[in-house]
């Protein structure tokens, strides 16, 4: 055999560099002092310390490892036996089953995920009818009527997409196996299982090991199928990351990935060194006597394959981590399932609430109001508490999806400023407790614009072509165009809406937009990658912390002002816990801390008034009045703003059509 | 071997429940309206999305070809290295997948941004900045990056098992290295190539995270279109199911045609 040329080696090296470059970058930024993934602020182990205190990450790590391990073990065993079974079938039957087996691999992840979600939800509905009937005809056994997505469904989904990989690895090994060997073993008096254990298993072991490793990798890496099947009570690491990649990846995530990664690398190194040493010893032993028969035949001395050891070591490490993290879990706790937006809470509040009340908070995030609505409708999100915006709340109330709140258990509701009570979306205030409020405006980089923009026109002008960021949600994107055209942002007039969509489409085709973004705007504006973007005031303040060149304006044509409020979903299984959570979050202290963390204005009167003093005490410097007014827009700005109201179904359909049309273009 | 047939029963039931039944759900959704009744309306508007179909298949095809062009030589070169190097390298190829793909893609954003690492580096020499992110090129890069291991590993697993005496025989019969490769090695490695193509093409054609993060979300791919219907701003699961169904049918057809060229049953292993 020819050895590879230097050029070949160099090429391989380049490919590895390509594969590892982003990972190296991630590892480097896990040691970053500040919370940016772009701007280096000095070396620090800060995020590693934070990591171990971040319960959300630790919990999702635990779920991820547990589900991956269980799915790997179960699918490896099941897949191996299924492969043996397939092997014994006649060709036609085998081909048919293999085709079905390949479906999860051939199918897009998102389709598999959605399909399973639809299936589970349909099954739960059937189960409910069955359980109600069953409970009514006998009294011995009471079946639970309400089943929800959760860890079991997550596990089922993982097993389902893992088995095909095991099967795919084991089957070729079986095909290489001489059938007569098994017959011979059985002729010699072995039972089938003895023959399996002594003859088949050693032959197909490499296939099993690589199948198991592939299955584990697939489970660890999966995001979208988990997203649809995990329900509201369990989150995998990928789901947590998804919530975080929106604004900025919290460097804690970099830190945990680094730890996982380095652990695996170290394990590989240890195994490899040990192997090398063993081999050397074996060689030394064999150096003196003449070569063995096996060696003359060109066979290597028998040893467990490297891969098997690697897999075993990885499994051990994973079990260890799972056990350690699992020791901190308490599953019998009362829980509350919350869904909010990305980076929309001071996470220490969650810890504090858990410690004070003993109620476990399962905290997930959605991308936008529309995404939340889809999650609720498809049945993938069975939350207790959600934090939608005004117009979505009225839509949810209309569709009878919200539960009335028990205000007697929410004494802190009295602290909410009267101007945020009885708003149009909930006129008699029976369903909501406001969480934050704020305005939408234009964020611009003073170093990149010639003059500060004052009108929405900059969103459609060629002046900053290629440097403008537009909203990636229909309601906000259309609002910018409607405002510029001088229409109400709640218009239901088809011609006006089409004109607005046409304005965006036209600007898009002229290359005005660099991208349609949601929370990615934070990274883009902070890094100076775009000159202009429309977004929420609170997030602007958060960006300005990392890039002092940024500025914010509520354009002259006016804008949207919004309220996000906490609501409880119909038939929420943890109603009392939900009340406790809402009350806790409505407190002045929680509002102050949230304001300080997320820079969105609080509806809590005391908190809003006290914030400048709170800021001064905390940072020993005065709070800039402009900053304060950006966060909590004064009356003269609010006068120019309009809040969204829920649109009729017809108009919503038109929005969808126009919006999809924009994306297709 | 008679008793082993029984082993297929549990898995067949499992597949019927968790593979076939969910797909049937998609089928039912695709043919029903918002009110639940039977309709073909979801398919009647399918023509509007031709652009998206074409765009997705084109980008996925480009990504698959690039993966093949990079992956095949790597797999081939790898198979010629020593056994220890090989086993470490295969694990190293798989290892990046342990860092969540969202994180890795996110990292690419930082590299490709207008003010990102590459442009900053080029800026030192007074070049650029070049617009790299939010282009179709960046989307293809993301696909290649994320799915390259799926191309390398199956090809490698086939090549490494090739009987070297066949190559030697070819040489003895007067073939030079190029001919031996073209006439012997490549045809024998086809099963690996075919599974590699499948495993890169299918996720590429349906991705949505990559196109949102690296493509700027301005031009939809099929994955975006489907995601929008199921999760995004335009909730319409029936239409989403219909689009998913059409996509599935096209993908399956492509794979079926492709597998005609290879040997039907021989499928390669991932590792």
**pLDDT, one tens digit for every residue, chain B (271 residues):** 456 778 889 999 999 999 999 999 999 999 998 887 898 988 988 888 999 999 999 999 999 999 999 999 999 999 888 888 888 888 888 888 888 888 888 889 888 988 888 888 888 898 877 888 889 999 999 999 999 999 998 899 888 888 888 888 988 988 888 888 888 888 888 888 988 898 899 889 988 888 888 998 888 899 888 888 887 777 888 998 999 999 988 888 888 888 777 554 445 444 4
Tell me which residues of chain B, numbers 104 to 143, contact chain A at a CB-CB cutoff of 8 Å.
104, 106-111, 113-117, 131, 133-134
Burial of A312: CB neighbours in 10 Å, binned 0-12, 13-18, 19+:
middle
C-alpha distance from B65 to closest chain A C-alpha (Å):
16
Q: Looking at the structure, do residues A355 and A501 belong to the same domain, yes or no?
A: no
C-alpha distance from B239 to closest chain A C-alpha (Å):
12
Write down the pLDDT at residue B264. 45
Query: Which residue segment(s) compose the domain that A419 sits in?
Result: 335-435+565-594
Sign of dihedral through CA atoms A209, A210, A213, A219? Answer: negative
Give the integer Cα–Cα distance in Å for B112 and A311: 35
A36 part of a folded domain: no
Cβ distance of B19 and A9 shorter than 8 Å: no
Looking at chain B, which residue has its C-alpha nearest residue A83?
A: B8
A21 part of a folded domain: no
Give the integer Cα–Cα distance in Å for A377 and A357: 31
Question: What φ, ψ does residue A214 adopt, rounded to 5°?
Answer: -65, -45
Looking at chain B, which residue has its C-alpha nearest residue A528?
A: B115
Q: Looking at the structure, do residues A202 and A106 belong to the same domain, yes or no?
A: yes
Measuring CA to CA, which residue among A100, A99, A96, A98 is closest to residue A175?
Answer: A98
Q: Looking at the structure, do residues A485 and A505 belong to the same domain, yes or no?
A: yes
A385 part of a folded domain: yes
Is B263 an 8 Å CB contact of chain A? no
A510 part of a folded domain: yes
C-alpha distance from B162 to closest chain A C-alpha (Å):
13
How many domains are there within chain A? 3
A297 confidence band (pLDDT: 50, 70, 90): very low
Q: Phi/psi class of residue A359: alpha, beta or left (left: φ > 0; alpha: ψ in -120 to 50)?
A: beta
- Average the pLDDT over each of A159-168, A502-511, B202-211 and give the range with the smallest value: B202-211
Cβ distance of A111 and B226 shorter than 8 Å: yes
CATH of the domain at A128: 1.10.3720.10
Strand partners, A659: none
**What average pLDDT is seen over chain A?**
87
A600 part of a folded domain: no
Residue A416 DSSP symbol: B
Residue of B234, B238, B254 to mutate when probing chain A, most A C-beta within 10 A? B234
% of chain A beyond a pLDDT of 90:
49
C-alpha distance from A612 to closest chain B C-alpha (Å):
35
A530 part of a folded domain: yes
Start-to-end CA distance of chain A, whole Å, equals 54
Tell me which residues of chain B, numbers 191 to 250, contact chain A at a CB-CB cutoff of 8 Å.
198-199, 202-203, 205-206, 208-209, 212-213, 216-220, 223-228, 230-237, 240-241, 244, 247-248
Q: For residue B1, list chain A residues with Cβ-Cβ distance below 8 A.
A: 87-88, 179, 182
> Per DSSP, which regions of B48-121 are E strands?
none
* Highest mean pLDDT: which range of A185-189, A610-614, A660-664: A610-614
Q: So where are chain B's domains?
A: 49-261
Q: In CATH, which of 3.40.50.300, 3.40.190.10, 1.10.3720.10, 3.40.50.10860 is domain B49-261?
A: 1.10.3720.10
A82 part of a folded domain: yes
Write down the pLDDT at residue A325. 59
Measuring CA to CA, which residue among A356, A119, A134, A319 is closest to residue A225?
Answer: A119
pTM for this entry = 0.86
Is B15 an 8 Å CB contact of chain A? yes
Looking at chain B, which residue has its C-alpha nearest residue A370?
A: B233
C-alpha distance from B146 to closest chain A C-alpha (Å):
9
Q: For residue A115, list chain B residues with Cβ-Cβ distance below 8 A.
A: 22-23, 25-26
The better pLDDT of the pair A286, A493 is held by A493
Of B20, B98, B251, the CB nearest to A220: B98
Asked whether the bond before B129 is cis by omega within 30 degrees of 0, the reply is yes
C-alpha distance from B192 to closest chain A C-alpha (Å):
12
Of A11, A310, A377, the CB nearest to B91: A310
- Average the pLDDT over each of A33-37, A229-233, A450-454 and give the range with the smallest value: A33-37
Q: What is the pLDDT of residues A492-504, one digit of tens each?
A: 999 999 999 999 9
A420 part of a folded domain: yes
Sign of dihedral through CA atoms A443, A449, A454, A455? Answer: negative
Measuring CA to CA, which residue among A79, A469, A32, A123 is closest to residue B15?
Answer: A79
Of A11, A112, A663, the CB nearest to B224: A663
The better pLDDT of the pair A22, B234 is held by A22
Start-to-end CA distance of chain B, whole Å, equals 28
C-alpha distance from A71 to closest chain B C-alpha (Å):
14
Does A60 have pLDDT greater than 80?
yes
Q: Looking at the structure, do residues A164 and A65 belong to the same domain, yes or no?
A: yes
ipTM of predicted assembly, 2 dp: 0.90
Q: Looking at the structure, do residues A98 and A210 belong to the same domain, yes or no?
A: yes
Burial of A599: CB neighbours in 10 Å, binned 0-12, 13-18, 19+:
buried
Spatial CB neighbours of A161, under 8 Å, sequence gap ≥ 6? A104, A105, A112, A218, A222, A225
Q: For residue B18, list chain A residues with Cβ-Cβ distance below 8 A.
A: 116, 119, 156-157, 160
- What's the residue count for chain B? 271
Cβ distance of A97 and B15 shorter than 8 Å: yes
Looking at chain B, which residue has its C-alpha nearest residue A659?
A: B234
Q: For residue A373, list chain B residues with Cβ-Cβ distance below 8 A.
A: 235
A224, A248, A272: which is the final residue of a domain? A248
CATH of the domain at A553: 3.40.190.10
Q: Looking at the structure, do residues A580 and A626 belong to the same domain, yes or no?
A: no
Contact B73, A9 (CB under 8 A): no
- Angle, nearest 10°, between helix axes A109-137 and B237-261? 120
Q: Looking at the structure, do residues A531 and A658 belong to the same domain, yes or no?
A: yes
Q: Looking at the structure, do residues A543 and A476 belong to the same domain, yes or no?
A: yes
Of B198, B213, B270, the CB nearest to A165: B270
Q: What is the pLDDT of residues A380-412, one digit of tens each?
A: 788 999 999 999 999 999 999 999 999 999 999
Cβ distance of A220 and B48 shorter than 8 Å: no
Cβ distance of A19 and B149 shorter than 8 Å: yes
Write down the pLDDT at residue B165. 87
Contact A518, A479 (CB under 8 A): no
Q: Looking at the structure, do residues A403 and A484 belong to the same domain, yes or no?
A: no
Residue A569 DSSP symbol: E
- Average the pLDDT over each of A27-41, A45-59, A476-490, A566-580 and give the range with the smallest value: A27-41
Is B151 an 8 Å CB contact of chain A? no
């Amino acid at each position: 055999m020819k050895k590879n040329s230097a050029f070949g080696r160099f090429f391989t090296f380049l490919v590895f560099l390509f594969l590892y470059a982003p990972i190296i970058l991630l590892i480097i930024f896990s040691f970053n002092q500040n919370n940016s993934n772009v701007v280096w602020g000095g070396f620090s182990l800060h995020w590693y310390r934070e990591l171990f205190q971040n319960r959300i990450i630790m919990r999702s790590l635990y779920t991820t490892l547990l589900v991956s391990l269980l799915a790997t073990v179960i699918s490896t065993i099941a897949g191996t036996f299924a492969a043996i079974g397939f092997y014994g079938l006649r060709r036609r039957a085998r081909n048919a089953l293999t085709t079905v087996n390949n479906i999860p691999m051939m199918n897009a992840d998102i389709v598999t995920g959605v399909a399973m979600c639809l299936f589970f939800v349909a099954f739960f509905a059937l189960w409910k009818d069955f359980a109600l009937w069953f409970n009514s005809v006998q009294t011995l056994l009471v079946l639970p009527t309400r089943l929800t997505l959760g860890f079991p469904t997550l596990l089922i989904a993982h097993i389902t997409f893992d088995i095909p990989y095991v099967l795919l690895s084991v089957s070729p090994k079986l095909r290489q196996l001489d059938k007569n060997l098994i017959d011979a073993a059985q002729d010699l008096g072995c039972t089938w299982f003895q023959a399996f254990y002594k003859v088949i298993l050693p032959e197909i072991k490499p296939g099993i090991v690589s199948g198991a490793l592939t299955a584990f990798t697939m489970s660890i890496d999966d995001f979208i199928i988990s997203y649809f099947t995990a329900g509201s009570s369990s989150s995998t690491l990928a789901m947590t990351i998804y919530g975080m990649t929106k604004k900025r990846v919290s460097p804690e995530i970099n830190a945990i990935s680094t730890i996982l990664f380095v652990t695996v690398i170290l394990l590989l190194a240890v195994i490899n060194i040990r192997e090398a040493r063993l081999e050397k010893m074996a060689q030394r032993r064999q150096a003196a006597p003449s070569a063995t028969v096996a060696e003359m035949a060109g066979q290597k001395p028998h040893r467990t394959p490297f891969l098997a050891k690697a897999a075993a070591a990885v499994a051990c490490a994973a079990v260890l981590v799972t056990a350690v993290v699992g020791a901190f879990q308490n599953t019998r706790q009362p829980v509350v399932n919350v869904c909010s937006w990305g980076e929309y809470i001071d996470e220490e509040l969650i810890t504090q609430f858990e410690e004070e009340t003993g109620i476990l908070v399962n905290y997930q995030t959605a991308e936008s109001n529309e995404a939340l609505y889809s999650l609720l409708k498809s049945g993938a999100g069975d939350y207790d508490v959600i934090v939608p915006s005004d117009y979505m709340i009225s839509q949810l109330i209309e569709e009878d999806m919200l539960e009335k709140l028990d205000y007697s258990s929410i004494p802190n509701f009295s602290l909410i400023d009267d101007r945020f009570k009885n708003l149009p979306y909930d006129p008699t205030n029976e369903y909501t407790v406001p969480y934050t409020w704020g305005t939408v405006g234009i964020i611009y980089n003073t170093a990149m614009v010639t003059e500060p923009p004052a009108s929405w026109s900059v969103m459609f002008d060629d002046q900053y072509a290629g440097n403008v960021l537009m909203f990636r949600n229909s309601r906000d994107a259309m609002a910018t165009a409607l405002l510029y055209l001088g229409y109400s942002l709640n218009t239901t007039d088809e011609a006006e809406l089409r004109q607005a969509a046409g304005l965006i489409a036209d600007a898009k085709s002229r290359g005005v937009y660099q991208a349609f973004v949601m929370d990615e705007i934070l990274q883009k504006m902070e890094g100076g990658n775009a000159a202009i973007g429309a977004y929420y005031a609170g997030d602007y303040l958060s960006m300005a912390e990392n890039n002092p060149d940024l500025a914010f304006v509520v354009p002259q044509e006016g804008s949207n002002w919004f309220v996000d409020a906490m609501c409880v979903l119909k038939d929420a299984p943890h109603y009392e816990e939900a009340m406790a959570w809402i009350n806790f979050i409505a407190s002045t202290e929680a509002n102050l801390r949230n304001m300080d963390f997320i820079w969105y204005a609080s509806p809590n009167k005391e908190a809003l008034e006290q914030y400048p003093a709170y800021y001064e005490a905390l940072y020993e410097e005065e709070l800039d009045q402009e900053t304060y007014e950006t966060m909590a827009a004064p009356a003269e700005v609010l006068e120019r703003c309009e809040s969204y109201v829920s649109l009729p179904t017809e108009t919503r359909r038109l929005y969808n059509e126009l919006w999809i049309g924009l994306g297709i273009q | 071997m008679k008793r082993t047939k029984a082993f297929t029963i549990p898995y067949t039931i499992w597949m019927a429940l968790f593979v076939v039944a969910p797909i049937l759900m998609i089928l039912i959704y695709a043919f029903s309206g918002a009110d639940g009744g039977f309709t073909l309306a979801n398919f009647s508007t399918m023509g509007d999305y031709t652009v998206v179909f074409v765009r997705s298949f084109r980008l996925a095809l480009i990504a698959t070809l690039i993966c093949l062009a990079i992956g095949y030589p790597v797999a081939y070169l790898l198979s010629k290295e020593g056994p220890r190097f090989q086993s470490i390298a295969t694990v190293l190829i798989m290892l990046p997948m342990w860092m969540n793909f969202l994180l890795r893609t996110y990292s690419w954003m930082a590299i490709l941004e207008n003010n990102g690492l590459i442009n900053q580096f080029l800026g030192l020499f007074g070049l650029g900045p070049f617009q790299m992110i939010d282009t179709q090129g960046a989307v293809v890069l993301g696909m290649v990056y994320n799915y390259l291991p799926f191309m390398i590993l199956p090809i490698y697993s086939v090549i490494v098992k090739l009987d070297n005496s066949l190559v030697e025989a070819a040489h003895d019969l007067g073939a030079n290295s190029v001919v031996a490769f073209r006439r012997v090695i490549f045809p024998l490695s086809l099963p690996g190539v075919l599974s590699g193509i499948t495993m890169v093409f299918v996720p590429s054609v349906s991705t949505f995270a990559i196109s949102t993060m690296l493509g700027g979300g301005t031009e939809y791919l099929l994955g975006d279109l489907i995601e929008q219907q199921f999760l995004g701003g335009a909730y319409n699961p029936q239409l989403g199911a219909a689009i998913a169904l059409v996509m599935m049918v096209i993908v399956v057809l492509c794979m079926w045609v492709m597998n005609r060229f290879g040997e039907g049953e021989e499928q390669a292993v991932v590792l």
